[in-house]
Amino acid sequence: MGMVAFSLAPYSKVAHARVLLDSLKAQHNEIRTFLVIVERHAQDIEGYGHEFVKLEQLDVPEALAFQYEAEELQEALKPWALAYFLRNFGSVLFCDPEGEFFSPLTGLASWMNDYEAVVVPNVLAPLPDDGLLPGNSDVLRTGLFHAGFFAMRASSEVDAFIQYWKEAVCQGLVGWDPLEQWTGNGAIFSSIGSYVGSLKIVRSRSVHFSSWSASQRSLSCAAGQWMTADGPLVSVHFRGFGGGVHTRPFVSPDGVHQLLAAHALKVAQALRPFPGYSFGCYMNGELIWRSDRRAFFHMSSFEKRNLQDPFRAQDEMRKRYIVSALLDVESVRELVAIKKGPSWKIGRAITWPLRHARAYMGKR
């Protein structure tokens, strides 16, 4: 069985995935390319040029789609899709849909013969401690390796890592929610070094140019060929550019802006009309609120099993949200009442010498 490549995308990212897979096929015509459409009962897209895998083929827990929104679910499904392709093809290359290839990824075949997994780092050297974003703490929190570009082949260690990845996703560790403090998928993915011993880290400046590494990599164009310090540009990950999150200056801002404009034009040309996100509403057509997903996240596994189908449980989700909000209000009221009562005042008076002694010692 030969290597295949795949990407994941909801309807809103299908055009991005088309640009990615077309560019990959142009550089590696021998690789079979697949798209997993992150939608309920998705149909094949006529004239797309790449093979499709239905979400229903991945054996994903039914409730997972309720827990996450579109792009979060795209991230969450990676271990299930990876397991599917390894089971059927033996080795696989994955790329996020917001990417594009510009030259061949030489060495991939030999890497996969020698290693069980191939990953790329987010940054190539420690970042300056200057208050700009991203900083070293952001890299540690988000993950040392980029979860949007990797290759793997089937092995017992890879299987164990995928199982861990699945369990972490089911526990609600994908996406970002300030109230829940969810972590990014990259933080989970970066633990691969602890589980898979045979690991290739590709440190070439030409592979997987991204907003994380643009402050450390130069980029230029000569005679229509994009070049880096390590040779022809191989691939770019476009998510994060121009979003206002990263404030660290790029080494080659003009080159980055040219790439962004050209990529945006290709995506616009690949756009087609699609229905809205199929997991965005209850079965009765009512919109699923973010608070509904949060209420489901906090349910125990026993409660989730008894619920059976959260997409038909709008009243239950709304009731849980209202009860949670009322409990939060009641907790605040109780704290205010305690602070007004005699016990709080007596306790503060008793501990006054100790608290002020600590404060005095801290100033010395």
Tens of pLDDT, residue by residue, the chain (364 residues): 578 999 999 999 999 999 999 999 999 999 999 999 999 999 899 999 999 999 999 999 878 899 888 988 999 999 999 999 999 999 999 999 999 999 999 999 999 999 999 999 999 999 999 989 899 998 988 899 999 999 999 999 999 999 999 998 888 667 666 555 555 688 899 999 999 999 999 999 999 999 999 999 999 998 889 999 999 999 999 998 876 667 899 999 999 999 999 999 999 999 999 999 999 999 999 999 888 888 888 888 888 888 888 999 988 888 877 776 665 555 555 556 666 667 667 766 777 676 666 555 554 5
Q: Do 262 and 141 share a structural domain?
A: yes
What total number of domains does the chain contain? 2
Detail the DSSP E strand segments found in the chain.
4-9, 32-37, 51-53, 91-95, 99-101, 117-121, 145-153, 199-201, 220-222, 225-228, 231-232, 235-237
Assigned domain for 315 exists: yes
pLDDT of 115 = 97
Peptide bond into 121 cis (omega under 30): no
Assigned domain for 181 exists: yes
Assigned domain for 277 exists: no
pLDDT of 235 = 98
Assigned domain for 127 exists: yes
How far apart, in whole angstroms, are the C-alpha atoms of residue 84 and residue 78? 10
Assigned domain for 38 exists: yes
Residue 33 CB partners (closer than 8 Å, separation 6+): 4, 5, 6, 21, 24, 25, 50, 51
- At 7, give phi and psi (nearest 5°): -140, 165
Q: Do 220 and 82 share a structural domain?
A: yes
Q: Do 204 and 74 share a structural domain?
A: yes
Look-up: residue for tokens 């401690």? 129
> How is residue 98 annotated by DSSP?
S
| Alpha-carbon distance values, 98 to 15, 136, 195, 267, 301 (Å) | 9, 24, 28, 10, 34
**Residue 310 belongs to what domain range?**
290-363
The reported pTM is: 0.86
Query: Among 270, 305, 338, which residue terminates a domain?
Result: 270
The full DSSP string for 103-152 is S--TTHHHHHHH-SEEEEES-SSPPPSSS-SS-HHHHHHH-SEEEEEEEE
Q: Do 233 and 88 share a structural domain?
A: yes
Query: Among 270, 305, 340, which residue terminates a domain?
Result: 270
Residue closest to 216 by CA, chosen among 280, 307, 122, 285: 122
Q: Do 188 and 298 share a structural domain?
A: no
- By the 8 A CB rule, do 142 and 187 touch? yes
Q: Do 122 and 17 share a structural domain?
A: yes
pLDDT of 306 = 84
3-state secondary structure of 171: coil
Assigned domain for 276 exists: no
Q: Do 243 and 147 share a structural domain?
A: yes
How far apart, in whole angstroms, are the C-alpha atoms of residue 189 and residue 161? 9
Q: Do 242 and 321 share a structural domain?
A: no
Query: Among 270, 303, 320, which residue terminates a domain?
Result: 270
The total number of residues shown for the chain amounts to: 364
Q: Do 316 and 181 share a structural domain?
A: no
Please give the helix or strand (H or E) that residue 277 lies within, else none: none
From the number of C-beta atoms within 10 Å of its C-beta (0-12, 13-18, 19+), residue 222 rates as: exposed
> How is residue 183 annotated by DSSP?
P
Assigned domain for 285 exists: no
How far apart, in whole angstroms, are the C-alpha atoms of residue 8 and residue 55? 10
Q: Do 313 and 225 share a structural domain?
A: no
Q: Do 28 and 168 share a structural domain?
A: yes
Q: Do 312 and 190 share a structural domain?
A: no
CATH number at residue 210: 3.90.550.10
- By the 8 A CB rule, do 48 and 7 touch? no
